[in-house]
Structure 1
Amino acid sequence: MRYSQVKLATFQARPNRFIANCQLNDQLVVAHVKNTGKCRELLLPGATVALTYCPSPQRKTDYDLIAVLHEGRWINLDSQIPNDLAADGVRRGLIALPGIAQVAAVRREVVFQDSRLDLAGTSRDNEAFFVEVKGVTLLDGELAAFPDAVTTRGLKHVHTLMAAQRAGYQAYLLFIVQAAGITTMTINRRLQPELAAAIAAAQAIGVQVLVYGCQVTADSIEVAEPLRFSLDADFILPG
């Protein structure tokens, strides 16, 4: 995935979760933040950020904030891109689904029971599967964690994946870490211990947890290598 018309700016402030004030050359601009997470450890005054220029009469801002340079590496903040990367990666075989020999079809935004899961599909052998995708931007060195804010929706999705697994589907929880240099991914138990407990219960009945890192620049992001998932790793928010 490559973004067009990318400009580097300096982050100033985030008046609310939807917008950021940024210094672009000699102009103060307002950008839409494509991530409603807190990102407090990333969006710091003076940080270099990547903006895409996308003016439209239907928009309130001319720019989207898509990435931030933090401790020497670019972190993509576009919360919509993990689903695009996942769908493309599964279709092309860049993201392997253990137990699915060859993917035949992939659909997006499919309802199961009372939830909408990100991906559904079938294999060449007519095995049916569901994939729920979560983007990850909370990092500390080589360790990544999810979530950065309590997510009742995410907890519900884990329970839905468990129901799908029990109903005969193969269910996957896929984390896309939107940065390079990560080796291990965990759950932010200190923030949401019930999510970690639910994922452990899901794994116990056969739901598989997958993690993929990405290569990220100011204007691009692509799926890279699979990463290790460990519920035992202890994440402490930097600072």
Structure 2
Amino acid sequence: MPAMRIDAPLLEGRFQRRYKRFFVDVELDDGSVVTAHCPNTGSLKGCLVEGAQAWLRDSQSETRKLRHTFQAIKIGRSWVNVDTGLPNKVVRAAVEAGQIPELTGYASVRPEVKYGTGSRIDLLLEDDDRPPCYVEIKNTTLAEGRTARFPDAVTSRGLKHLGELTEVVRQGMRAVQFFFISRADVDCFRPADDIDPAYCAGLRAAAAAGVEVLAYSSQVRRDRLAVAEPLEVLLD
């Protein structure tokens, strides 16, 4: 699978804490503590384990308020990508390379196209011989056992996106809710009803209306992030 290269140097340390949503403290091997930017506004439920190994991306910038960015954390034996800015790029590269069978055969792949009510679709796939395909990508970090779950917190925005995808289908076009599972230690995907029952009901309603639901695991490496394997989606 095509991979998103991570060229910035990575530092390794031990996760200490997250605070004010956008800040994390990581203790490096030399005992110093670095405060880094957390590029994920979700709860990161189950991922913020004190003492877990963590990677920080070093921007090498002397002007940034926080020079380092929280990249990944090791939960059990699996690294989990926490940077929400990467999955869209990774999925786009995989689609353009024809590596996601469900999304092949389109001549054009465009990111961040306006649609719905004040929204932008993550990927719009277009071809002269078929209706356009709207792909909404959700970064997923939560797992329980071998099951990936979404969301990890209440998401009214996510519910709004499901409604807009459903409207796309009603207009005769194709819509896909794509869950990018930012870890490799999972075998299937299931919505997290205990966390956000409204979103999960909306996901099932959207699927019943014709919105396709896909989930893929990923390879999280020190120097790259890539789409890995399709997962069974369990909506019942």
Pairwise TM-score range, normalised by the shorter structure: over 0.9
Cα distance in 1, alignment partners of residues 101 and 208 from structure 2: 20
Alignment of 1:6-155 (within 5 A): 6-24=10-28, 25-97=30-102, 102-114=105-117, 115-123=119-127, 125-155=129-159
2:185 aligned partner: 181
* Contact 1:50-1:219 at 8 Å conserved across structures: no
**SS, match of residue 90 in structure 2:** helix
Give the TM-score normalised by structure 2. Answer: 0.92
* Residue deviations 1:65-94 (CA, integer Å, cap 9, x gap): 110011111011111111111111111111
Give the superposition deviation at 1:168. Answer: 1.5
* Contact 1:74-1:218 at 8 Å conserved across structures: no
Q: 1:110 to 1:49 in 2, by over 3 A?
A: same
Give the superposition deviation at 1:112. Answer: 1.2
Cα distance in 2, alignment partners of residues 9 and 126 from structure 1: 49
The answer to whether the aligner puts 1:163 opposite 2:205 as a matched pair is no
Choose 176-185 or 21-30, whichever is displaced more. Answer: 21-30
Cα distance in 1, alignment partners of residues 229 and 47 from structure 2: 23
* Residue deviations 1:109-144 (CA, integer Å, cap 9, x gap): 111121211111213524211000001000122101
- For structure 1, list consecutive stretches of 5 or more residues without a partner in the other structure: 233-239
The answer to whether the aligner puts 1:5 opposite 2:1 as a matched pair is no
Q: 1:91 to 1:124 in 2, by over 3 A?
A: farther
Give the superposition deviation at 1:218. Answer: 3.3
The answer to whether the aligner puts 1:221 opposite 2:225 as a matched pair is yes
- Give, as a single letter, the amino acid of the residue that structure 2 aligns with 1:61: L
**SS, match of residue 34 in structure 1:** coil
Q: 1:86 to 1:26 in 2, by over 3 A?
A: same
Choose 48-57 or 180-189, whichever is displaced more. Answer: 48-57
* Contact 2:98-2:104 at 8 Å conserved across structures: no
* Contact 1:12-1:46 at 8 Å conserved across structures: yes
Q: 1:40 to 1:181 in 2, by over 3 A?
A: closer
Give the TM-score normalised by structure 1. Answer: 0.91
Give the superposition deviation at 1:15. Answer: 2.1
- Give, as a single letter, the amino acid of the residue that structure 2 aligns with 1:28: V
Cα distance in 2, alignment partners of residues 85 and 53 from structure 1: 20
- For structure 2, list consecutive stretches of 5 or more residues without a partner in the other structure: none
Q: 1:28 to 1:118 in 2, by over 3 A?
A: same
**SS, match of residue 159 in structure 1:** helix
* Contact 2:181-2:218 at 8 Å conserved across structures: yes
Choose 75-84 or 198-207, whichever is displaced more. Answer: 198-207
1:191 aligned partner: 195
Give the superposition deviation at 1:53. Answer: 0.7
Moved over 4 A (4+): none
Q: Give aligned-pair identity as a percent.
A: 37
Cα distance in 2, alignment partners of residues 217 and 226 from structure 1: 18
Give the superposition deviation at 1:57. Answer: 4.5
**SS, match of residue 204 in structure 2:** helix
Choose 73-82 or 50-59, whichever is displaced more. Answer: 50-59
**SS, match of residue 17 in structure 1:** coil
